[in-house]
Structure 1
Amino acid sequence: MDNNNLGRHISGQFNVELEDVRSQVMAMGGLLEQQLNDALDALQHGDAETARKVMSADRKINSMEVTIDEECTRIIAKRQPAASDLRLILAISKTTADLERIGDACVRVARAVIDNKEGNRKGLLVSMEAMGRHAARMLHDTLDAFARMDVDAAFRLHKEDRKIDKEFEAVFRQLMTFMMEDPRSIPGILDVMWAARALERIGDRCQNICEYVIYFVKGKDVRHMDTEDMEDLLR
């Protein structure tokens, strides 16, 4: 949040409301970090019990999204915020939606572990772990950039998604090779491919959140802006 603007509202309660909803987003992000790390641990060890815990935690994530969205709607209706306050609330609402989808991605990974009943795809699942850990680091750093509304960090992380995309392409090529070598493996490998795609999408969601940080601070929607143009904006 723009800490320089704290205390400038006529209503001190408005400050409290803005800080409270921002804190709820950070709590949701912390739960998601744990959920993603648990999903990756389940992936590494073929741990179906941990995978089921991940799937169960998704209900809490969904509930938090609804609560935060309702609070944002209430603040807009009650306070009729303008300028940076409105941008903050919109950034929070959009960030919450992307966080919920990261939770869905974690569930997709967990489901792949549970569906691998015979354990014959464990090697393929583990091959995704490096990409998953990279996505987990990106999520952590993105939440930190959001907490500090750090434009420079957000721009750096926005570019980081390219690396995760390349890691996904490598995993995808490996899985395609396995399917061509053994057509009977196609149904099982497709499950793994969907899980890999889910991990890649986490990078995309983090990239979206970085764009919301830039939007809040700079007042410019950069969602469809080229990297070079975005860099010019931030100079």
Structure 2
Amino acid sequence: MKIDQEAHTSHISQKFNEELEEIRSQLLEMGGLVEKQVQDAVDSLVDGDTRLASEVRKTDKTVNQLQLEIDEVCTHILARRQPAASDLRLVLAVIRATSDLERIGDEASKIAKATLRLAEEGTSPRGYIEARHLGNHVRQMVKDALNAFARFDTPQALAVLREDDKVDLEYRSATRALITFMMEDPRSISQVMNIMWVLRSLERVGDHASNLAEYVIYLVEGEDVRYTKPDKIEQVLQHDDEEDQKGSST
């Protein structure tokens, strides 16, 4: 059964309504923090800003603590309320989403660590433009996935899933170019390898953003679309919509 945002504010218990809204709000707060962490990590790399890189790494502790707090609230809801149907999907989606957000924070921290290494070893001769472009792309994916979660917006979630293939192509193209450059100039291998690890982290951020989008579809539609291609997901959602329309007309 498809649900919308209002479905989670219609319980007899006002306290239950507040608890569900609390975990959703906390998730979006954590997401905003992680999104900024990714942006700051890429900025620190491109600008060679070691102070900002250190701040990104410190933020990781805050992100970890938020995950623990949200998980604790979700555990209490599961134990006390024993939610069913869409309420259970919301709690499960939040638990899964916080795990992916925490991992995005980990990848941002790895990028910041690469910035600090490059400050010690010397800047890389290539790869910063690619890192900036890929970083902007995956950060937008995270933002769009969080907006989809906030609005119960499955079309936007599906659009995020479609972006993942573009990110993968962009990552592979940038990696090939950097490998070619290292073959031509072996003296740059150490520095360029740091950039390649950054690109790998950014590609993983895109993967986690896709996971967030899948949880939105699970939450709203009740369909587990993990390991399913976007075109197939779209077919499933269209079929569900047609079935809903038939049911409402009878």
Give your verdict on TM over 0.5. Answer: yes
What residue is the counterpart of 1:104 in the other structure? 106
Q: 1:168 to 1:7 in 2, by over 3 A?
A: closer
Q: Which residue of 2 aligns with 1:14?
A: 16
Q: Answer yes or no: is 1:151 the counterpart of 2:144.
A: no
Residue 222 of structure 1 is matched in structure 2 by 225
Give deviations 1:25-79, integer Å, cap 9, x for gaps. Answer: 0110111122111112112211111111101110000000111111111100110
Correspondence 1:82-231 to 2 at 5 A: 82-116=84-118, 117-121=120-124, 123-231=126-234
On the 8 A contact 1:102/1:202 being kept in 2, the answer is yes
Q: Is the 1:179–1:185 Cα contact (8 Å) retained in structure 2?
A: yes
1:46–1:122 Cα contact (<8 Å) kept: no
- Which runs of 5 or more residues in structure 1 are unaligned? none
2:59 matched to which residue of 1? Answer: 57
1:27 paired to 2:32 = no
CA deviation after TM superposition for structure 1 residue 183, in Å? 3.2
What is the one-letter code of the residue matched to 2:140? R
Q: How far apart in 2 are the matches of 1:183 and 1:123? A: 13
What is the alpha-carbon root mean square deviation over aligned residues?
Answer: 1.5
Alpha carbons of structure 1 residues 110 and 147: separation in structure 2 relative to 1, 3 Å: same
Counterpart-to-counterpart distance in 1, 2:8 and 2:121? 56
Measured after TM superposition, the shift of residue 126 of structure 1 is 4.0
The amino acid across from 2:107 in the alignment is A
CA deviation map 1:71-130 (0-9, x unaligned): 111100110000000001000000000000110111111111110024331642343111
Q: Which moved more, 1:37-46 or 1:209-218?
A: 37-46
Q: Which letter does structure 2 place at the counterpart of 1:142? A: A
Give the Cα–Cα distance (whole angstroms) in 1 for the partners of residues 41 and 136 of structure 2: 10
What is the CA distance between 1:196 and its match in structure 2? 0.7
Which AA in structure 2 matches 1:218? E
Counterparts of 2:6 and 2:20 in 1: how far apart (Å)? 14
Identity %: 46
- Maintained 8 Å contact 2:8/2:87: no
Output the amino acid matched with 1:48. T
Distance of aligned partners of 1:72 and 1:122 in 2 relative to their CA distance in 1, 3 Å threshold: farther
Letter in 2 for 1:46: G
Task: Say yes or no: does 1:48 pair with 2:50.
Answer: yes
Deviates more, 1:178-187 or 1:28-37: 178-187
1:15 shift after superposition: 0.4
TM-score, length basis structure 1: 0.95
**5+ unaligned residues in a row in structure 2: which ranges?**
239-250
Matches of 1:17 and 1:176 in 2, distance apart? Answer: 50
Bigger radius of gyration among the two: 2
Residue 221 of structure 1: SS of its match in structure 2? coil
Aligned to 2:241: none
